[in-house]
Structure formats: structure tokens, C-alpha cells
Structure 1
Amino acid sequence: MARDISPIVKQSRREGYALHPKAHKVMAKKTGIPGQHANGRPGKPSLYLTQLREKQKVRRTYGLLEKQFSRLIDEATRTAGQGELPGEVLLQFLERRIDNAVYRAGFATSRRAARQLVGHGHFMLNGRRVDIPSIRLKAGDELVVRPKSVKSGYFSQIDEVVKNSIQEPLSWLRSDDKKLTISITGLPTRAEAEADIKEQLIVEYYSR
């Protein structure tokens, strides 16, 4: 399974956005873009560069490769209904990924960690084992930790993971850290996605 293995803190500094909790502390000390001449670059970025950086920020936030991300924006643009904005449809698609749902439920401290849990086959979707993080969930779906995984070191301490989670309750997702289940009760709204994403810039980037 292809994935981006470049250092997450370096990615965060490049995008000017903490893509992982551990990046916050480093970015507080190192505010510049990584690279020998980063601090000598011109001040105001072009519109193209602004769009590119926003696209890269969101792509890396959710852990997608470029080909995956471009396919997703194409689908969002094609399927956006009357009154729907392609950018908001894109965010809904991203939020409905299995790995994101695991992260949003508080079962992992980052999306990268959630992706690893799913990829290692620790979850069952509607009674069937899954190991594909990109599967898109719908209302009525239920994720549950596999019986064989429940006794693992990680899930035996899930109380601590959930307690340290920074996630807020969501209208479309209900989790139970005792039964180790995640139930999808609806669709995510724009207000429940990452607040500081400027999705219209991403749509404009791919519309060039």
C-alpha cells in the first residue's frame, strides 16, 4: 500500500500547519519553512502558490497521495448536487474515510496512527474484516475492533488513548470505548470538518 513516509514534522513546517500533535512544539520553535534558504524567500506568495499550499496541507492532513487526492476532487466535482459546493463535498468524502472515523472517535491520537490500525486489520466493518483505510463510510455502518485485537496491548489501554483525545463529539459518529465500536449515524457537516481549511482554494487549483 503506497504511502507518504516523509517526516511529519518537516511536512508540517512546510505547510505552516501542524499535521500531527507532536508538530506543535517543534513549530513553536522553528517557524520557517525547512530548507537552507527558506527564510530568504520572497514574502507574499502568488495565488497559485497559495492554492498549492492549501491543497498540500489538506492532502497531507488526511494522509493521501497526490493521485488519490486528485481522483477524490474529480469525484467531488462530478457528484456535487444542486446547492452543494465541490469543496464541501470533498471534505465530506475525506471525513468519511475509515481511518479518519477511527481518529475522530478518539481511538487513535493522530490520523497517521489510525491509518496504521486500520491497515493492520484491527477493525471489522459490518461484520467483515477490513484493512483499507480509504473505504468511505455511510450512515448505518458500524466499525468494531476485531476480537483477536481486543486483548492486544494497544486496545487493552484504549481508555487512556480516549482520555487523551482532543476530539469533540460529532453529530454523525457515535463511539463506545467499552464495546470498542464506532457507529455512523449520518453525514459530516462542513462545520464539523477542520475549521481552518479553505477548500475553495483547492477547487480553484484543480480548475486551472
Structure 2
Amino acid sequence: MTKRTAAKHKLDRRMGENIWGRPKSPVNRREYGPGQHGQRRKQKLSDFGIQLRAKQKLKGYYGDLTEKQFRRIYAEAVRVNGDTGENLIGLLERRLDAVVYRSKFVPTVFAARQFVNHGHVTVNGKKVNIPSYRVKEGDVIEVKEKSRQMALVIEALASAERDFAEYINVDASKMKAEFVRTPGLSDVPYPVMMEPNLVVEYYAKN
């Protein structure tokens, strides 16, 4: 199981946003934070607080990423030519668990990590059970034949809750997806506004 599974609703409430766009998010009912002090008036955040919040939101969105993993991805985004914030988004979206989630093979990013871990996915015909595996443009991701009758998969594909991402070509009938291109921030269908530029500022100062 992922480390954050039991606390994902708490993350929504702490941020005051429905980060994954789920109908069952508690933010849909109450926007204040969790705990006995959740309804207190919110203090104005400092620049550091705003940057930290942007980092926590983006890292939390991708599920079970540790700070060490996220910082490593950021460091790689810095090394690549171009805008660091855009590079960061592209690297996060190239994770296999993110692609499985975007392809609607599973209902949540948390389920995607577990789905990959349990060996239900192939990349270019070969089983890959590493959620952080980085796909390349042109890679074909497929649900293994023996896993296609899982209720989790069938329900996720039938759900109208999310649309398919434009940078992934999905053949729902064959449960197969091709990663067409690395997306930028404007391409990714986040339910809430993500601000990778603030994440860059946070790491640049810390």
C-alpha cells in the first residue's frame, strides 16, 4: 500500500483544494483544514509559505513520492535545457504510474502505483513493475491480458470523471496506450492550478 493512502483526504483539506478532482473529496463539503483548529481564520502566507505549499501540492498530487525522490527529479529538471518548471512537469508525467493513471487504467494515482508494483503492466511488451520507470515518446503501455477483467480497470475506463490526456493515445478496447510526447504544464489536465515556477523558487532558496 502507498504511504499516503489513509491521509489523501487530509491533504485535500490541508491545501483547501480538491487536488485530484474526486467527487468524494471532503473539500467539496468543507474547505477548512483538518483537526480541531481547522476552522480558524487562515493566516496570510509568507513567500516561503506560498512556495512550500506549491511544492507540497505538486509532490502530493503524484502520490507516494518521498522528498528525496522529488528533489532528485527537480535536480534533473535543472540539468535539462529549457524552462526548469516545464521540465519538472514533463519528468513527473513520464513516470509509468502517472501514464497508467492518465490512461484511465486505474481510478487514482495511488492505485496506479500499486497496479504497476503488482506487475499488471507491460511497456513495449515487457513487464515493468517499477512505478518510477520513465517512459519515452513512442513507448506502448499495456494492461496485461490476465489483468484486463479486474473490476478496478473496467470501472476506471468506463468512468466519465476524467478525460484522457492529449499526449497519450489510448485504445480503451485493447487497454493499450502510446505515450506520444512529453507534455508541458498547459497540456496536463490538473483539476487545480499547479505552479511549478514556485517549486523552482522554493528549491533555489533551500
Question: What is the TM-score of this pair, normalised by structure 2?
Answer: 0.88
Instruction: For 1:13-32, list aligned pairs within 5 A.
Output: 13-22=13-22, 25-32=25-32
Shift of 1:134: 0.9
Instruction: For 1:1-208, list aligned pairs within 5 A.
Output: 3-22=3-22, 25-40=25-40, 43-63=43-63, 64-79=65-80, 81=81, 84-155=82-153, 158=154, 160-193=155-188, 194=190, 196-208=193-205
Distance 1:16 1:110 in 2: 19
Q: Residues 60-94 of structure 1, C-alpha deviation per residue, up to 9 Å, x if partnerless?
A: 10111111101111110111x1xx21011000111
Q: Residues 170-196 of structure 1, C-alpha deviation per residue, up to 9 Å, x if partnerless?
A: 342111121111111222132112361
Q: Which has the higher contact order (CA 8 A, sep 6+)?
A: 2
- Counterpart residue identity of residue 130, structure 2: I
Paired residue total: 202
The structure-2 alpha-carbon separation of the partners of 1:93 and 1:165, relative to structure 1 and needing over 3 Å to count, comes to: farther
| Structure 2 runs not aligned, ≥5 long | none
Distance 1:118 1:172 in 2: 20
Shift of 1:30: 2.2
Question: What is the TM-score of this pair, normalised by structure 1?
Answer: 0.87
> 1:102, 1:108 within 8 Å by CA — same for their partners in 2?
yes
Distance 2:75 2:23 in 1: 31
